[in-house]
Amino acid sequence: MAERRDESRTQTETQAASEPECAASPSPEERIAKLEDELRSKSEEAAASHDRYLRAVAEAENFRKRLQKDKGEAIRFANETLLRDLLHVVDNLELAIEHAELGGNGKSVREGVELTLRLFRDVLERHGVKELGDPTGAAFDPATQEAAEVQTHRELSPNTVIRQQIKGYRYNDRLLRPARVVVAGGPSSSGAEPDEDEKEPIH
């Protein structure tokens, strides 16, 4: 009898010891509910991230459109400052013509034209256009000059610039227009001396 009581007490103690463990572990329903809460939380975070992504894409697209519009405006009105400055040149030319029509003497008209020319050159320089130096007497430079004519010259070596016909200009670091020049060539193919009337004048 004593052994049965001891065995029964041992079983009771074992059951009592295992009951807290069973109470501590969540039920399947509780685990499912917890997982659903975590899934809902992650879904909300994903939705928020997706919304931020869409906003960022929309802002980038709007910025691209604004940039493209500004670029188009800049190209369209790129010469606005230059044209505004050129209007002053037009004003001076109109004044010179008006003065000439009123019977002004030739000297005043010439002075007005010279003043307008200086103003025009100042406008070009402000906008990066600079005149190339006069190459007369120097060696022909095909990078900045264009040979409009080749003439025989007794006192200049071949390939020397005799005179400049049209001035050359540079726009910032780029050649805007080459100078048009007359270049000295070699002796004539026949080797005969030219007649006095055919000799080129020395410049």
Task: Work out the percent of the chain whose per-residue pLDDT is above 70.
Answer: 78
Q: Is residue 36 part of a domain?
A: no
Q: Is residue 168 part of a domain?
A: yes
Q: Is residue 46 part of a domain?
A: no
Q: Is residue 116 part of a domain?
A: yes
Q: Is residue 33 part of a domain?
A: no
Residue 53, C-beta contacts closer than 8 angstroms, at least 6 positions apart: none
The parent domain of residue 177 ranges over 131-198
pTM beyond 0.95: no
Residue 74 scores a pLDDT above 70: yes
pLDDT in tens, 128-157: 999 999 999 999 999 999 999 999 988 899
Whole-angstrom CA distances from 168 to 22, 145, 173, 179, 191 are 100, 7, 13, 4, 34
Q: What per-residue confidence (pLDDT) applies to 17?
A: 53
Q: Domain check: are 103 and 149 in the same one?
A: no
Q: What per-residue confidence (pLDDT) applies to 33?
A: 87
153-156 long-range CB contacts below 8 Å, 24 or more apart? 153/184, 153/185, 153/200, 153/202, 154/199, 154/200, 154/202, 155/202, 156/184
Three-class DSSP category at 62: helix
Q: Domain check: are 145 and 190 in the same one?
A: yes
Residue 168's identity, in one-letter code, is G
pLDDT in tens, 8-18: 555 555 555 55
Q: How many domains does one find in the chain?
A: 2
**Please, which residues bridge with residue 149 across strands?**
182
pLDDT in tens, 42-58: 999 999 999 999 999 99
Residue 135: other Cβ atoms inside 10 A = 20
Q: Domain check: are 140 and 114 in the same one?
A: no
Q: Domain check: are 149 and 182 in the same one?
A: yes
Q: What are phi and psi of 32, to 5 degrees?
A: -65, -45
Residue 51: other Cβ atoms inside 10 A = 10
Q: Domain check: are 153 and 106 in the same one?
A: no
Q: Domain check: are 144 and 194 in the same one?
A: yes
Q: Domain check: are 137 and 191 in the same one?
A: yes
Binned at pLDDT 50, 70 and 90, residue 109 comes out as confident
What CA–CA distance (Å, rounded) separates 98 from 126? 28
